[in-house]
Amino acid sequence: MWDLIILNPFTNVLLWIYNLIGQNFGVAVILFTILIRAITWPLNAQQLKGAKVMQDLQNDKEWLDIQKKYAKDREKLAQEQMRIYQERGINPFASCLPTLIQFPIIIGLYQSITRALAATPLTLLQLARSIYPFMNAAGIIPLNSHFLWMDLGRPEGLPFPGGFTVSFLPYGFPTLAIIVAVTTYLQTKLTLPPSTNPNDQTAAMNSMMSIYMPLFLGWLVLNYASGLAIYFVASNVLGIVQYAMMGRVNWRNLLPGGNRPVPSNARKNK
Amino acid sequence: MKRLTVLSFVLLGAILMSACSSAATRGSSWPGLSADANNAYLANGQYIYAARLSDGSKLWQYPDKAGAQEFFAKPLLTPDGQLIIGSTGTDQGLASLDPATGKEKWPTPFTGAKDRWITSPLVLDNVIYAPNGDGSLYALNLATGELLWSLPIGGPLWGTPVTDGKLIFLTSLDHFLYAIDPRSQKTVWKMNLGGSAADSPALSIDKTTLYVGSFGSKVFAINAADGSLRWTTNTNTWVWSDPAVNNSNVFVADINGQVYSLDASSGKNFWSNIIPDGPITGSPLLTADGVVVATESGSAYSLDHNGKVLWSTSLGGKIYTTPVASGNLVLIAPLGAQYLLYAVNEKDGSMLPWHFDGK
């Protein structure tokens, strides 16, 4: 079912783009990422809107008051929170649902890239079965996996000077892993909403995520096909562009201490 | 607590994404099998195994402990008593083992290739000719494993080369069949197959004609001397495996599971609609009575010269690997079955009482 609805269509669209642009898989991955981002734009916008509303609520005086007042009465706190949601017409899941809907799309995109790269006999056989009859699979395979200095079917690494080797970096100096980590960090930092509440748990969690996610994705790219890394970089850059177009990029976060919570009264005095 | 939550999310993401991407660089095993009169040598997952055919007991495994390596290529027994194996791990090593003990024979494995060893090499005049996934053919000293020369060919090389004693013939996923002169290290001729070729060409008994199938849904007969086309025959879909050739017939199977018996001189198909029970990626195995084919559905079929089923047996799992003969036994290595290796009698398909599980 997953293959039929998500993976096979994604793989075929990716291969169609690849064929259309003269069989360059790196460019195909970038264009495919742009396409998926464009399709999911309304969902992203809805998610951002919902997140902004929830973020604003975290700094709302009435909201903060009930947190303090009913700190020891969970049931009453929940009732009061629901009352505020209803009075202001807020759907607390407005930012979660678009994310949940996007999740299978992102996973499908990710899987279609790995499937299309088909670096082993079994994956090539799976790819052969995924390609629609009108796509001329025999003409497409094998995919040209070379892009810039990379073989997109393998982890990326530039040779160390003088034949030097590092045991935990078997593929060489991980240029792309660093680019992935940096762009992930930038995207996370730039899209963090400003917080006025020093006790804002969401802001604290986001801040930690901005450290862990780049490290995690950088580590992932060290060991897996560099075609996926191209997707991560393209996705990060497009994410920043998308947020910028919606006026949600927070450049101040790049400055030292820029994402430190600002008391709401201090903001009002400015 | 907050830190724990974030770490849990990251860990969950790691597991999910690792599962998603694992097929790109590892996993997805593809067993390789060879045998001599007494033992079977099986490449399966992270190990090479040697199994005694008399009782299915394990002689040895290589390496002792699983590492970052996986093995797809069938182990190659050389005339001077070595067992050449190639890995798909990070080092992409080509190593020589002692078939009796499983210990390495060369001072160090050859690790100069840039990609996986999907297939086994060819040995000719004390030189190993090893095709690699990086698109190059590597010539190594048989005794030491030292690199003599390498020749960039084109796309990934997944088929074992064959030779007429002078030229080396090998296929590539780049759609071409190549004839290489090992003395000049140059391509003598090449032939477009209309699609990738994932396995070897087969030589006629008199070594004058090459038979090869491709993803272009065709089987070609090609003059080995100059690369000129003798005939071509259409198949229903992709041909993955190398053909099996006897004096008069070329047996080949496609990935829809149809088996063809072609006239070696004209390409005419004698079998109209022989479709066992699933896709076939391994080559047909020539037997005294006809051929044995193994299907992805986990079954093996013995077909006589008219395509009539003599026997069939279901082993479970999925069979991608060419069955191998040893004496009157047919050895089969399924993927994902209860056991790694099965032996059946060539005559009646009865299964031997032992099954090799690698333990």
What integer is the mean pLDDT of A121-148?
89
Mutate which of B2, B3, B6 to test chain A, going by most A C-beta atoms within 10 A?
B6
Compare all CA atoms of chain A with the CA of B27 and give the residue at the minimum distance: A120
What pLDDT does residue A156 have? 84
Rounded CA separation B105/B91 (Å): 18
Percentage of the residues of chain B whose pLDDT score is greater than 70: 92
What pLDDT does residue B6 have? 58
How many contacts (CB atoms, under 8 Å) link A and B? 108
Question: For residues B237 and B21, which has the higher predicted lDDT (pLDDT)?
Answer: B237
Statement to judge: residues A116 and A171 lie in one domain: no
Statement to judge: residues A5 and A70 lie in one domain: yes
Q: What digits encode the pLDDT tens for the residues A27-70? A: 999 999 899 888 888 877 777 777 778 777 877 888 888 888 88
Statement to judge: residues A215 and A165 lie in one domain: yes
Q: Is the pLDDT of residue A142 over 60?
A: yes
Q: Looking at this predicted complex, what is its ipTM?
A: 0.88
Q: Looking at residue A141, what DSSP letter applies?
A: P
Q: Hey, which residues does B131 pair with through a beta bridge? A: B137
CA distances (Å), origin B327, targets A67, B32, B40? 81, 19, 12
Domain boundary among the residues A114, A144, A174 is at A144
Query: How many domains are contained in chain A?
Result: 2
Rounded CA separation B78/B298 (Å): 30
Per the structure, the complete domain to which residue A40 belongs is given by: 1-144
Statement to judge: residues A259 and A128 lie in one domain: no
Q: Which of A185, A180, A183, A174 is nearest to A229 (CA)?
A: A180
Strand runs (DSSP E) across chain A, as ranges? 146-147, 150-151
Range with the poorest average pLDDT among A4-8, A176-180, B183-187: A4-8
Exposed/middle/buried for residue A270 (C-beta within 10 Å: 0-12, 13-18, 19+): exposed
Statement to judge: residues A112 and A218 lie in one domain: no
B10: chain A residues, CB-CB within 8 Å: 212-213, 216
The pTM (predicted TM-score) of the whole model is 0.82
Statement to judge: residues A67 and A9 lie in one domain: yes
Statement to judge: residues A112 and A172 lie in one domain: no
Domain boundary among the residues A119, A144, A169 is at A144
Among the partner residues B7, B28, B215, nearest to A120 by beta-carbon distance:
B28
Residue B151 makes CB contacts below 8 A (sequence gap 6+) with: B136, B137, B139, B180, B185
Statement to judge: residues A114 and A209 lie in one domain: no
Question: For residues B7 and B326, which has the higher predicted lDDT (pLDDT)?
Answer: B326
Among the partner residues B28, B91, B216, nearest to A122 by beta-carbon distance:
B28
Q: What digits encode the pLDDT tens for the residues B18-65? A: 445 444 334 478 999 999 999 999 999 999 999 999 999 999 999 998
Domain boundary among the residues A144, A178, A195 is at A144
What pLDDT does residue A77 have? 87
Q: Hey, which residues does B47 pair with through a beta bridge? A: B44
What pLDDT does residue B190 have? 97
Closest approach of A264 to chain B, Cα-based (Å): 23
What integer is the mean pLDDT of A196-216?
72
B286 three-class SS = strand
What integer is the mean pLDDT of A56-85?
85
Statement to judge: residues A138 and A165 lie in one domain: no
Statement to judge: residues A131 and A3 lie in one domain: yes
Among the partner residues B6, B17, B25, nearest to A119 by beta-carbon distance:
B25
Is B265 within 8 Å of B209 (Cβ atoms)? no
Q: Which stretches within chain B are classed as H helix?
A: 2-25
Rounded CA separation B40/B75 (Å): 10
What pLDDT does residue B235 have? 96
Closest approach of B148 to chain A, Cα-based (Å): 20
Statement to judge: residues A231 and A133 lie in one domain: no
**pLDDT bracket for residue A97 (50, 70, 90):** low
Statement to judge: residues A176 and A249 lie in one domain: yes
A111: chain B residues, CB-CB within 8 Å: 20
Residues of chain A whose beta carbon is less than 8 angstroms from a beta carbon of chain B are 107, 110-111, 114-115, 117, 119-126, 128, 137-139, 141-142, 151, 153-155, 170-171, 201, 204-205, 208-209, 212-213, 216, 220, 223-225, 227-228
